[in-house]
């Protein structure tokens, strides 16, 4: 039975991805709810039926009281025994079946699948965002919103059916029941409904913003705490334990204050609701007693009216809390939409085609990019790299080296100019096909929190075990990998490397990253200080490996340690976002320009930035 309801909706059903999801709450939820429309309709019907049954039970209590007062027990059983048996059958058999269907739809179909669908689609959407989008936010806050929004959306749907729909059906049924018994009993109920609706409106109007503020404050706490944990090495190294505690405490105290403000509203609401419900009980029950006293109502009517208002009294607290939870859940969803519903900042063009790689010629024409600031980055750069040519890229920090590489990988769209690969503008090809043809090793190569095997195979998931091990050997990584062991007892290539690879040394991480790129075997290779984390002996070995890997590839290598790129076919010197010089190592030294000054003023093989700047 459970499996039937659990499989009514497939949360992973295919859908049309949108670059710009709805930014308003209702369209946002309705967009995700498309696969659930039929289930929602059936659930609404079942909730109404269940609420109607509850009202009918109260009505039947009144009828039962009247039946029992009409004669002796034997006479009552003789005249109404069949009716009582059918009523018992309805309560024992039919009511549980109908209620069970309603509960199963809510708990087994909607709650697990609706949240799963939102989390899966949200994660897919966020992963499509460009690198710059992630650089402008905390990874912890993004993840927190991906985790919090789906259950909040599911809770909002649950409360809508379980509380709101049930309450509306019950109130309508109550009005109908009292109207059928005596229309005069409806008057105090209608007055109470108006007062309750006003109180509900007052609560929702204030609890909504208060809940959103409290949720935002909790997210700020998460962001600060995760930031400390992510950078725990810096925290320990600079002995800033107390500083980080104080940094988090500030956000924690703000979250407490926001939550206190929210709870004050809830307390006021609860007291006011108790007063309003008191008038309901006295009004309806008192009027029913007066009608009975005047001989215009039966004892059963008094019993039914009293049972009805007592049920409404108990239900209103639940409805108020459920409505508050609904508003809180919607507040969390609204906050999550700030991340989940952001339009994709960098998308493939409508007619984008896969990159057709032929030889690997790269042409950079009038390339400018300043990150929207009007300064920094690159300024009108022209550069042509022949197929198989190996280019060394040098320059001071901020000269535009990393910007050039990011634009080549299309992590950003250039503000002006274009980059062509084999005559194809990379802005007009699909991003995935572009990056499949480029392998890159960065200075800080963070690894996935998975096994060594998973990290290396990330370069080419379909590679064989032998190919993976061969790549590790070429990267001088195999020998230390086979000796690895993690706390769970996994060894060798199955050992987990920890978050960002923290269980490995910097040199070990770099060698695993090199193995990953070697396995990928992309025709264009980008090296951004690829050997900076290695000791001299290993670096010398890796350099020889890299020159072997470079064979037949178009290569761009960024380096501050100039000795690592001296053998490149050509060296391009960037300064203030423009090409200052280019040529071979020998030619640039003979020119006695900026590169020569870098070379002469190196300390330990690195560009002496301060000395070079002082020489200007």
Asked, for residue 348, whether it belongs to a domain, the answer is no
For residue 273, what is the domain's CATH number? 1.20.1560.10
Mean pLDDT for the chain overall: 86
For the CA atoms of 146, 152, 157, 162, the dihedral, rounded to the nearest 10 degrees, stands at: 150
- The answer to whether residues 58 and 176 belong to one domain is yes
- The answer to whether residues 72 and 182 belong to one domain is yes
Asked, for residue 200, whether it belongs to a domain, the answer is yes
Asked if 399 and 609 count as a contact pair (C-beta separation under 8 A), the reply is: no
pLDDT of residue 469: 95
Please write down the HEC assignment for all residues of 503-544. Answer: CCCHHHHHHHHHHHHHHHCCCEEEEECCCCCCCHHHHHHHHH
For residue 430, what is the domain's CATH number? 3.40.50.300
Confidence at 52, pLDDT banded by 50, 70, 90: confident
Question: Which residues have a Cβ under 8 Å from the Cβ of 334 and sit 6 or more positions away?
Answer: 25, 212
- The answer to whether residues 12 and 102 belong to one domain is yes
Last residue of a domain, one of 340, 373, 393: 340
Residue 81 has pLDDT above 80, yes or no: yes
Asked, for residue 213, whether it belongs to a domain, the answer is yes
- Tens-digit pLDDT profile for residues 519-528: 999 999 998 8
Written as six digits, the tokens of 86 are 């059918």
Highest mean pLDDT among 341-345, 456-460, 543-547: 456-460
Quickly count: other Cβ atoms within 10 Å of residue 279's Cβ. 13
- The answer to whether residues 470 and 427 belong to one domain is yes
pLDDT of residue 607: 54
Residues 510, 445: Cα–Cα separation, whole Å: 6
Asked, for residue 62, whether it belongs to a domain, the answer is yes
Residues 138, 135: Cα–Cα separation, whole Å: 8
- The answer to whether residues 466 and 391 belong to one domain is yes
Predicted TM-score (pTM) of the model is: 0.75
Q: What is the mean pLDDT of residues 575-586?
A: 92
Q: What is the mean pLDDT of residues 543-560?
A: 83
- The answer to whether residues 76 and 107 belong to one domain is yes
- The answer to whether residues 489 and 593 belong to one domain is yes
Asked, for residue 357, whether it belongs to a domain, the answer is no
Helix axes 186-230, 166-181, angle to 10 degrees: 170
Q: Could you give the percent of the chain with pLDDT greater than 90?
A: 34
Asked if 576 and 379 count as a contact pair (C-beta separation under 8 A), the reply is: yes
- The answer to whether residues 399 and 289 belong to one domain is no
Written as six digits, the tokens of 272 are 């006011």
- The answer to whether residues 158 and 99 belong to one domain is yes
DSSP 176-191: HHHHHH-GGGHHHHHH
Last residue of a domain, one of 307, 340, 373: 340
Asked if 461 and 508 count as a contact pair (C-beta separation under 8 A), the reply is: no
pLDDT of residue 534: 62
From residue 320, give the alpha-carbon distance in Å to each of 210, 316, 472.
16, 6, 62
Q: What is the CA radius of gyration of the chain?
A: 35
Residues 239, 66: Cα–Cα separation, whole Å: 80
Q: What is the mean pLDDT of residues 556-584?
A: 88
Backbone angles phi, psi at 385, to 5 degrees: -120, 120
- The answer to whether residues 328 and 458 belong to one domain is no
- Tens-digit pLDDT profile for residues 123-158: 999 988 888 888 887 777 788 888 888 988 988 888
- The answer to whether residues 261 and 388 belong to one domain is no
Confidence at 602, pLDDT banded by 50, 70, 90: low
Confidence at 410, pLDDT banded by 50, 70, 90: very high
Written as six digits, the tokens of 302 are 């008094």
Higher local confidence (pLDDT), 353 or 561: 353
Number of domains in the chain: 2
Asked, for residue 355, whether it belongs to a domain, the answer is no
Asked if 575 and 563 count as a contact pair (C-beta separation under 8 A), the reply is: no
pLDDT of residue 611: 42
Domain membership of residue 492 as a residue range: 362-615
Residues 339, 141: Cα–Cα separation, whole Å: 9
- β-pair type (424-425, 416-421): antiparallel
- The answer to whether residues 142 and 107 belong to one domain is yes
pLDDT of residue 237: 85
Q: What is the mean pLDDT of residues 165-177?
A: 82
Question: Which residues have a Cβ under 8 Å from the Cβ of 267 and sit 6 or more positions away?
Answer: none
Asked, for residue 353, whether it belongs to a domain, the answer is no
Last residue of a domain, one of 289, 305, 340: 340
Mean pLDDT lowest among 164-168, 340-344, 592-596: 164-168
Asked, for residue 356, whether it belongs to a domain, the answer is no
- Tens-digit pLDDT profile for residues 366-408: 999 988 776 778 999 999 999 999 999 998 888 888 899 999 9
């Amino acid at each position: 039975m459970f499996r039937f309801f659990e499989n009514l909706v497939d949360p992973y059903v295919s859908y049309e991805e949108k670059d710009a999801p709805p930014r308003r709450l209702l369209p946002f939820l309705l967009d995700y709810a498309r696969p659930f429309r039929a289930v929602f309709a059936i659930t609404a019907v079942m909730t109404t039926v269940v609420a109607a049954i509850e009202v009918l039970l109260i009505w039947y209590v009144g009828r039962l009281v009247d039946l029992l007062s009409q004669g002796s027990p034997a006479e009552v059983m003789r005249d109404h025994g069949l009716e009582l048996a059918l009523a018992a059958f309805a309560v024992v058999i039919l009511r549980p079946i109908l209620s069970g269907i309603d509960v199963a739809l809510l708990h087994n179909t909607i709650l697990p699948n609706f949240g799963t669908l939102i989390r899966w689609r949200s994660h897919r959407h966020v992963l499509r965002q460009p690198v710059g989008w992630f650089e402008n936010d905390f990874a912890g806050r993004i993840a927190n919103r991906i985790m919090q929004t789906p259950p909040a959306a599911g809770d909002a749907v649950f409360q809508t059916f379980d509380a709101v729909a049930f309450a509306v059906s019950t109130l309508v049924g109550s009005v109908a029941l009292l109207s059928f018994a005596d229309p005069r009993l409806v008057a105090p109920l209608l007055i109470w409904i108006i007062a309750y609706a006003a109180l509900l409106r007052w609560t929702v109007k204030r609890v909504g913003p208060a809940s959103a503020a409290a949720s935002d404050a909790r997210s700020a706490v998460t962001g600060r705490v995760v930031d400390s944990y992510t950078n725990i090495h810096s925290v320990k190294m600079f002995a800033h334990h107390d500083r980080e505690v104080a940094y988090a405490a500030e956000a924690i105290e703000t979250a407490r204050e926001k939550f206190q403000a929210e709870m004050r509203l809830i307390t006021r609401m609860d007291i006011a609701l108790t007063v309003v419900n008191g008038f309901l009980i006295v009004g309806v029950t008192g009027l029913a007693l007066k009608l009975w006293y005047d001989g215009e109502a039966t004892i059963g009517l008094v019993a039914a009216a009293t049972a009805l208002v007592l049920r409404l009294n108990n239900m209103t607290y639940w409805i108020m809390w459920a409505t508050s939870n609904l508003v809180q859940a919607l507040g969390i969803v609204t906050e999550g939409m700030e991340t989940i519903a952001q339009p994709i900042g960098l998308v493939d063009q409508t007619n984008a085609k896969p990159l057709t790689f032929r030889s690997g010629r790269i042409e950079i024409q009038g390339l400018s990019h300043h990150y929207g600031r009007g300064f920094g980055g690159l300024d009108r750069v022209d550069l042509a790299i022949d197929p198989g040519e190996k280019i060394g890229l040098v320059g001071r920090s901020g000269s535009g080296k990393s910007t050039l590489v990011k634009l080549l990988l299309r992590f950003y769209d250039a503000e002006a100019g274009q980059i062509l690969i084999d005559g194809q503008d990379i802005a007009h090809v699909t991003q995935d096909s572009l990056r499949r043809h480029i392998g890159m090793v960065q200075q800080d190569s963070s690894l996935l929190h998975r096994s060594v095997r998973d990290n290396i195979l990330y370069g080419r998931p379909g590679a064989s075990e032998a190919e993976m091990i061969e790549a590790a050997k070429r990267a001088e990584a195999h020998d230390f990998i086979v000796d690895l062991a993690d706390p769970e007892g996994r060894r060798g290539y199955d050992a987990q490397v920890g978050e960002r690879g923290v269980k490995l040394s910097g040199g070990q991480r770099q060698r695993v990253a090199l193995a990953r790129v070697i396995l990928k075997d992309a025709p264009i290779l980008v090296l951004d200080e690829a050997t900076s984390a290695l000791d001299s002996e290993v670096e010398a070995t890796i350099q020889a490996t890299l020159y072997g890997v470079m064979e037949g590839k178009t290569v761009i290598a960024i380096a501050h340690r100039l000795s690592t790129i001296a053998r490149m076919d050509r060296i391009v010197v960037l300064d203030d976002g423009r090409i200052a010089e280019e040529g071979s190592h020998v030619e640039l030294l003979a020119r006695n320009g900026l590169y020569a000054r870098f070379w002469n003023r190196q300390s330990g093989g690195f560009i002496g930035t301060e000395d070079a700047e002082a020489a200007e």
